[in-house]
Structure formats: C-alpha cells, structure tokens
Amino acid sequence: MQSKFIKATPQFPLIYQHQHHHKAYFNVVACANNSSSENKNGFKILGKTLGDYRTKLSDLDKSLMQDKINIWVSKTTNYLNELTSPLVKNVQDKNPPLGNSYETDDMEELFMSEHTIDIKTPTGNLSLAAVISIEQFGRMNGLTGKKMQMLFQALVPENVSGNARNLVEYCCFRFLCRDDSEIHPCLKDRAFQRLIFVTMLAWEHPYSNSKDSSEKVSFQRKLVRKEAFVRIAPAISGLADYPTAHNLFKALAGAQEGISFQVWSTYIDELLKVYEGRKSYIFEESPPISGERILCLGSGRKRPVLKWEKNMAWPGKLTLTDKALYFEEIGLRGQRDAIRVDLTRHGSRVEKTRVGPLDSDLFDSAVSITSGPDSEAWKLEFVDFGGEMRRDVWYAFIKEVISVHQFIHEFGPKKYDQSVQNVYGAKKGKQRATNCAINSIARLQALQSIKKLLEEPTKLVPFSYLQNAPYGEIVHQTLAVNFWGGPLTTRFKEIKSAANGEVSGVYSNHVYDVDGSVYLRKWMKHSSWSLNDSIAFWKNSSVRQELVLSKNHVVGDKNLVEKAAITCRDKYQVVESTQATIDAAMIEGIPSNIDLFKELLLPLTMAAKSFDKLRRWEEPLLTASFLAFIYALIFRNLLSYVFPTTLMALATFMLVVKGLKEQGRLGRSFGKVTIHDQPPSNTIEKIIAVKEAMRDLEKYMQTVNVFLLKIRTVLLAGQPQITTEVAMVLLFGSAVLLTIPFKYILSFFIFDIFTRELEFRRETVKKFMRFLRDRWETVPATPVSVLPFKSNDAGPVIQKKERNNLINLERTKRKQ
C-alpha cells in the first residue's frame, strides 16, 4: 500500500546547534494514512510553546530574521494568488507547475520538529542529515530514533554500532527491505524522494564537521556523490541496480561532481511516468499478445521506424515486449498484420548496421536483428529528427532483452528441472531476472526523456553491460544466486552436479547467499563456475560481524552482487584507461601506419605464421620432420645454456631501464615511437587512398602496431608495475631452467605447443589463454608522437612523379 505523508508549514528558522537545546529539533511523523491532497510536502511539524523560545533580543540574528520575513511574505503572496486564481483551469493546466511554492521550498524549511536520538556519539556529533534520516526512518519503522539507536547497538558488535554510517544504513534498509515490488510505491511521494536524498547525504557525511555552535543547512543546494549514490540507490526497488549504478550516476551527474535534488526528483518523476505509460499500452488492430509485457513502442511522424527489405523502406509501428519484437507495416493498402521476431531463441543477435537505397550504406541509423543462425535478418532504421541517440537506445533495448534470456539459459535451471521444487522461491527466479531487465529498460527510457544519456547506452542496462565487462561472469553468478536462491523446502543429502562434471570440485555442496539462501550445485552448468576468480570469490563471500536484513540489504558490509559489481567496475576502469592509450596510438592514414609498421619491425610476424602452420599440423609430414630435428638438437645438449642466458640478460636489461627511468636519467621522451608526418596531398590522391582494400589493411596494421607498442611498454618500463611482474616471471623461469635439466624442460615446452589444438587439451588451453588475455588488456600502449613533415630537394620531385603515375594508371583502368 502506498504510504502518504503529512504536511505542515514550518514556523521556525532552522538553526542546528551542538551546545544548547539538544532535544528540540525533530519530531517527524511520516507514512500516515492520510490521503488529503493538501499534504504536499509530507512531514508533520510539531511546534512548541512560547516559553521554549525565550531569548534575549541581542541574541537574534538580524540577517536570519530578515530572510525568514521574506520567506513568510513570499508564502503569503503565493497563498493569496491561489485564492484569487480561477476555479476552472484550462486543459493545459492539468499538471501543477514546477514552481509551486510548497514543492520547491528549500530543504531547511522541511524538518523543523523534535527528535529523540542522542546526537552525541563516542566518535563525534551526528550531522543534521543523519539525525533527519535516522529519526524519520525510525518512525516509518514504527519506532523512534532513540529506540532504533538502542536496538541497533544491541544487535551488532560495538565496532559496527560505533559507526554512524551503519546506523543510517540500518534505519533505511530496515524500511526498504519490507518491500519487494517492481518499483517502491513510496517513490510517488515527493517527501520520500527528499528523504532518500537526505539519507544519501547522511551516509556520505554522518558526522558534523561544523566548528561553530550553529549550522545552517540547505540540502536543496547540496550534491550527492558517487559513493553514497551507489550504496543507497540500488537498495530501493526499481530505482537502480548494483552492476550499472556507477554508470547511472555518471549519466545523472553529467559535468557536475554530484547529483542535485532537482535532477534526482526529475529522474524519479520521469521513471514513474514510464511505468504509468506502460499500463496504457494497447496493441491495436493486431493479434493479441498473450503472456508478454509490452515495454516500449516506436512510431510517430517525427520519429518513424522504417523496415528495409529489398532496397525498399516501409514505415510501420514497432513494439518491443519482454520476449519478442513486433512490426506492423503501413503500406499503400493500409496497415498489415504484425510480424514477429522471437528474441528468446538461442543465437538471437542484434547489431548496428547501415542502410540505404541500392544496397548502399548511406544512413548510419539502423540495427540488424536475427532470431537465430537460419532466420532472416530484420533491418530497422530509427529516424529521429530531434537527435542522434535513438538508434543506440533501441539497440540497448533489444540487446538487453536478448541478453537476459541468454543469462537465464546459461545460469538458471533447465526448463523442466524438478529440483526447483526443493528451493523456496526458485520458480520465480526467471521472472525476477526478467523484471531486472525490464526495470533497466524503464530507467533508460527515463534518462532518454530527460536527455541524460551516456555515449554508450548499453552501459546503463546490466545484462548487456556485463557480457563484455571484465569480471562480468562473476557478477552473473551472484545475480543467479540472488534470483534463484532460497531456503530449502526438503531435506536431501546431495544433488549431483551438472552433466560431464563441468563444475569444479571446490563446490563440495552448494552456493549460499548472505542470508542463507541456497543455489544448487546442479544449476552450475556454465563454464565460468570453474574459473579461479569464481572459486576465490565464493570462498571469501561470507559476511561475519555485519547485520543481514535481506539478501539485498546488508548493514555495515556489501551483499554479494554489490561486491562483485564493485570489482567489475574497478577492472573496467583499468580497461578503459588502457583503451585510452590504445586510442591515442591509433594513427589515421595509411602512409603513417606503414611508417609505424616499418619502425616496429613487424615483418617478423611472417615467421610466426609459418610456425603456427607447423603447430596446427596442417602438413603432418613437415611437422613430424620439424619435431624430429628439434628433439635431436635438444637431446644432444646443444641448447642447454642458450635460453637461460637470454632470459637473464633480457630481465636485467628491463630492470636496469626501469631503474634509470625512475631516476629520470633517460629523459621524458625515452621509449616513445617517433615517425614523420606525410606531405600534403590533393583531393584525387585522397580518393585513391580511401579504398576498401586499403581500409582493411589500415585496420590490420593498427592492430599489429598496438600489439608491438604494448610489447614496447613492457620492455621499456612504460608501466613499471607490469614491467616488474614480467621481469620477476622471467627471473623465476631462468631459475627453473638452471635447476632442472634444460632438455627436459624444452622437450615439455615443445610438446605443449604442438598439442594445444588437439582434442584432449583444447578446453584447458582455452581457459588459460582467457586468463592471459584479460591480463594483456590491462597493458597500456606506448605513446606515439608525430613530427612535422620535412621537405628535401629531390624527395618531393620523386614522390610527385610516383603519385602522377598512380593517377594515370587509375584513369587508364577506368577507361578500360
């Protein structure tokens, strides 16, 4: 049931004092069953007698009294304007204006009443925001702030109860954990929105930092920082989720350092409008949609949707549900029957593409959708005359629906698995996962309405974001435990693991959530459960001294999804910073990339390709002859000291360079790759250069250049930590080579190389290479500087003749 708040106008200035009158601040009454439309602000303010405010005239603050008189005059004027306004309003005035005085009062005018909580704590005085949050949520829980404080101290150890931030979490989470709806019903109340905003401020600053005896507070002008938002917002149903909370904060904050109350309330209002709008979706003149929820519609004159087929674009109405995509084509004969593409099938894909007449790629505003490897691809163009993000947003919508069904297939129980009967609530796991995706799509729609989107909208929807994020599979595991985990309903000793023993032996029984919910070992069919990161995470996933209110609300610690999401966020930030160095190393222009290619001596890759052919046994006779020759050299003891000496010299060189660079004796430009810019060219030469074949060559050369730049970074201490780690590995390898006979080590190494592609080792090699690839992605590329072009006497003449010859050759081919 939606709770209503009681409203009253404050009558006294808000002066927060630390030295006098400690029990005369807050007596907040909330969530009362009063549905009167007059209660807009939502807080009942209990006044005092005149005897409680006896003071000397000399103690009054003149500027403060002047401000209060101005506020009272403004309120009186607004009240009189409301009385003299027409009783009948126009149709356009259905929604109240944003400038309503009762809705836009500063936050210091909202919380003037008595409080019961003891402000003084062993670690410092509580801040005003903390007192408001604790007292308000205490009364919403049916107690007072003082009783909540005493109860919390009795439930947890002293080291936990001594932190006021944990007390704020306890009061807030105890109220929030009682609701498991799709979106929290109290969010419709503006007073509850303000209370959550104040709670985030209280979590960020639980103690008062003011040195004066009084502290005037203006919450309306304060900003919520990232840490507080990521901690509190996902705990509210439907408002945010842990995997993408940091990206949601980035979108709402924009260029600011935090989120203001205006942005916060606007975001919640738009989110509620999305949920209300979904209730009114009707699929007109079409076959009924049974068992599916309509998420969003795409149609309109300013924002049409075009379906390209056989070089023709047909407008129509697009409907996205939680299982499929419907398109109603509008042709010359009117509207046709809707066609459907299933998004739940294995192998469904959505990709960004270009469309245009005569198979051209003129318009970069379309997506290609397939429902499987054998299905026909849909090409839908999202035209938007008011912006450029519509295609990207719809791409995120469709991809999220596909991703959540892929998640259910990989991490959930099988369709007819009877073991779900043994876990309470496991039957609703699929619906919980689907609701998580549906809520994320609603949030993305709200952000689109208020124009607070990121450049990549897929970062705002969890399942699409986690597919390509490092540590994303571990977050998937925690989400699976959260959705399908629950108490056991029957006693049984052991449930067999998935077929073929895919689960690691470390999971002797099952996986448990922080509240004791069980996720059966039988359901761990995905290969990520056997990864080292997964095993290490679940070994350290227990909560020890903290207070667990539910699987999503843990006081003083983080729940499993939050822990995995934070690790995923940190790893993703490392990958992004690394990618920034790679983007800086991407040089545009084919001639420049050729020069860089020569500078880095990349023709050596040809030898590597030849060796790869031998390793894959593409020519068995040649491979067998090569192995016989290598083993003959090994067992004749001809290579015993070659490799150890080389590794030691290489490691010594790297460490010496690292030391000299740390001392600043090699200069700031040491290690950079330097090439000369190309001479200016005319339009015809540019057209010849931009050919499809040359474009592919450029991309290939850029990839190879980045590879060599990373190697250069490791060798020349571009990243000291990585250089040290690699050097230590090389030194360890040299020690092993000096201890064990070299011929046996080299024989084993060659045996490993030439058996990686065989059937009995293929899966093990994939897992190991995956670990190395994740580590390689964290290595930055060496910076590249481009020097200006230097002209010579004979050089430009020769280059000009060569360019003229190319132009004449191109013209001759066109005539033929």
The set of long-range contacts for 791-797, using a CB threshold of 8 Å and a minimum separation of 24, is 791/679, 796/679
| Number of separate helices (H) and strands (E) present in the chain | 25, 18
State residue 500 phi and psi, 5-degree precision: 65, 15
Q: What is the pLDDT of residue 437?
A: 95
**Do residues 524 and 555 both lie within one domain?**
yes
pLDDT for 450 beyond 60 = yes
Q: What is the pLDDT of residue 167?
A: 94
Q: Cα(65)–Cα(62) distance, rounded to whole angstroms?
A: 5
- For the ranges 9-13, 559-563, 590-594, 608-612, the maximum mean pLDDT occurs at 559-563
Residue at 372 is within a domain: yes
Q: Cα(236)–Cα(242) distance, rounded to whole angstroms?
A: 11
What is the C-alpha end-to-end distance of the chain, expressed in Å? Answer: 80
pLDDT for 571 beyond 50 = yes
pLDDT for 340 beyond 80 = yes
Of residues 686 and 661, more confidently modeled? 661
Q: What is the pLDDT of residue 48?
A: 40
Q: What is the pLDDT of residue 379?
A: 92
Q: Please, which residues have CB within 8 angstroms of residue 526's CB and are 6 or more apart in sequence? A: 410, 411, 473, 476, 477
Residue at 235 is within a domain: no
Measured CA to CA in angstroms, residue 441 lies from 152, 263, 276, 332, 410 at distances of 37, 19, 14, 34, 21
CA 386-353-247 angle, to 5 degrees, is: 65
Q: Please, which residues have CB within 8 angstroms of residue 623's CB and are 6 or more apart in sequence? A: 614, 615, 617, 754
Q: What is the pLDDT of residue 555?
A: 93
Q: What is the pLDDT of residue 177?
A: 92
Q: Cα(444)–Cα(456) distance, rounded to whole angstroms?
A: 11
Q: Which of 515, 477, 510 is nearest to 494 (CA)?
A: 510
Residue at 447 is within a domain: yes
Measured CA to CA in angstroms, residue 449 lies from 267, 276, 443, 460 at distances of 9, 14, 10, 14
Give the three-class secondary structure for 16: strand
Residue range 243-270: mean pLDDT, rounded: 94
**Element spanning 797, H or E:** helix 795-815
Domain residue limits at 175? 16-82+98-222
What share of the chain has pLDDT > 70, as a percent? 69
Q: 468, 493, 525 — which closes off a domain? A: 468
Q: Cα(145)–Cα(131) distance, rounded to whole angstroms?
A: 8
Number of neighbours of residue 195 by Cβ within 10 angstroms: 27
Q: What is the pLDDT of residues 151-188, one digit of tens each?
A: 999 998 888 888 999 999 999 999 999 888 889 999 99
Q: Please list the residues that pair with 334 across neighbouring strands.
A: 331
Confidence of residue 605 (pLDDT cuts 50, 70, 90): low
pLDDT for 398 beyond 90 = yes
Q: Which of 475, 346, 316 is nearest to 409 (CA)?
A: 346
Of residues 491 and 11, more confidently modeled? 491
Structure tokens at 659: 């030391």
Structure tokens at 718: 């571009």
pLDDT for 319 beyond 80 = yes
Q: Cα(398)–Cα(377) distance, rounded to whole angstroms?
A: 14
Residue at 190 is within a domain: yes
Q: 442, 468, 494 — which closes off a domain? A: 468
The answer to whether the CB of 654 falls within 8 A of the CB of 777 is: no
**Do residues 484 and 632 both lie within one domain?**
no
Measured CA to CA in angstroms, residue 461 lies from 304, 442, 649 at distances of 24, 10, 49
Structure tokens at 254: 């924009």
**Do residues 402 and 513 both lie within one domain?**
no
pLDDT for 797 beyond 90 = no
Residue range 475-479: mean pLDDT, rounded: 96
**Element spanning 581, H or E:** helix 560-585
Of residues 337 and 458, more confidently modeled? 458
Q: Cα(464)–Cα(393) distance, rounded to whole angstroms?
A: 12
Confidence of residue 22 (pLDDT cuts 50, 70, 90): very low
Residue range 524-530: mean pLDDT, rounded: 90
Q: Please list the residues that pair with 44 across neighbouring strands.
A: 29
Ramachandran bin of 291, using left for φ above 0, alpha for ψ from -120 to 50, beta for the remaining angles: left
**Would you list the DSSP string of 74-130?**
HHHHHHHHHHHS-SS--GGGSSPPTT-TTTS--GGGT--S---S--EETTEEBPHHH
Q: Cα(710)–Cα(38) distance, rounded to whole angstroms?
A: 66
CATH of residue 285's domain is: 2.30.29.30
pLDDT for 508 beyond 60 = no
Q: Which of 530, 541, 595, 586 is nearest to 564 (CA)?
A: 541
Q: What is the number of alpha carbons within 13 Å of residue 483 lying toward its C-beta?
A: 24
Q: Please list the residues that pair with 544 across neighbouring strands.
A: none
Helix-, strand-, coil-residue percentages of the chain, each rounded to 5: 50, 10, 35
pLDDT for 814 beyond 60 = no
Q: What is the pLDDT of residue 607?
A: 67
Residue at 145 is within a domain: yes
**Do residues 489 and 455 both lie within one domain?**
no
Number of neighbours of residue 389 by Cβ within 10 angstroms: 17
Q: What is the pLDDT of residue 98?
A: 39
| Residue owning tokens 């670990």 | 771
Q: What is the pLDDT of residues 40-79, one digit of tens each?
A: 344 443 334 434 444 444 554 555 555 556 555 555 555 4
Q: 425, 447, 468 — which closes off a domain? A: 468
Q: What is the number of alpha carbons within 13 Å of residue 616 lying toward its C-beta?
A: 7
Of residues 763 and 287, more confidently modeled? 763
Q: What is the pLDDT of residue 718?
A: 77
Q: What is the pLDDT of residues 230-253, one digit of tens each?
A: 999 999 999 999 999 999 999 999
**Do residues 496 and 613 both lie within one domain?**
no
**Do residues 506 and 454 both lie within one domain?**
no
pLDDT for 100 beyond 70 = no
The answer to whether the CB of 447 falls within 8 A of the CB of 274 is: no
Confidence of residue 577 (pLDDT cuts 50, 70, 90): confident
Residue range 274-300: mean pLDDT, rounded: 76
Average the pLDDT over each of 85-89, 200-204, 458-462, 507-511 and give the range with the smallest value. Answer: 85-89
Average the pLDDT over each of 499-508, 634-643, 650-659, 695-704 and give the range with the smallest value. Answer: 499-508
Structure tokens at 158: 């002293």
**Do residues 312 and 353 both lie within one domain?**
yes
Residues in the chain: 816
Q: What is the pLDDT of residue 691?
A: 67
**Do residues 426 and 498 both lie within one domain?**
no
Of residues 592 and 257, more confidently modeled? 257
**Do residues 659 and 724 both lie within one domain?**
yes
- Please write down the HEC assignment for all residues of 362-413: CEEEEEEEECCCCCCCEEEEECCCCCCCHHHHHHHHHHHHHHHHHHHHHHCC
Residue at 30 is within a domain: yes
Residue at 502 is within a domain: yes
pTM for this predicted structure: 0.66
**Do residues 321 and 189 both lie within one domain?**
no
Residue at 672 is within a domain: yes
The answer to whether the CB of 178 falls within 8 A of the CB of 97 is: no
Average the pLDDT over each of 261-275, 346-360, 677-691, 754-768 and give the range with the smallest value. Answer: 677-691
pLDDT for 682 beyond 50 = yes
How many domains, the chain? Answer: 4
Measured CA to CA in angstroms, residue 291 lies from 77, 318, 420 at distances of 54, 18, 21
pLDDT, averaged across the chain: 77
**Do residues 594 and 741 both lie within one domain?**
yes
Residue range 254-262: mean pLDDT, rounded: 92
Q: What is the pLDDT of residue 778?
A: 81
Q: Cα(183)–Cα(239) distance, rounded to whole angstroms?
A: 7
State residue 787 phi and psi, 5-degree precision: -85, 155
CA 735-741-745 angle, to 5 degrees, is: 80
The answer to whether the CB of 16 falls within 8 A of the CB of 125 is: no
Q: Which of 531, 421, 541 is nearest to 481 (CA)?
A: 541
Q: What is the pLDDT of residues 419-428, one digit of tens each?
A: 888 899 899 9
Q: What is the pLDDT of residue 569?
A: 94
Confidence of residue 611 (pLDDT cuts 50, 70, 90): confident
**Element spanning 367, H or E:** strand 363-370
The answer to whether the CB of 687 falls within 8 A of the CB of 811 is: no
**Element spanning 631, H or E:** helix 620-635
What share of the chain has pLDDT > 90, as a percent? 30
**Do residues 563 and 604 both lie within one domain?**
no
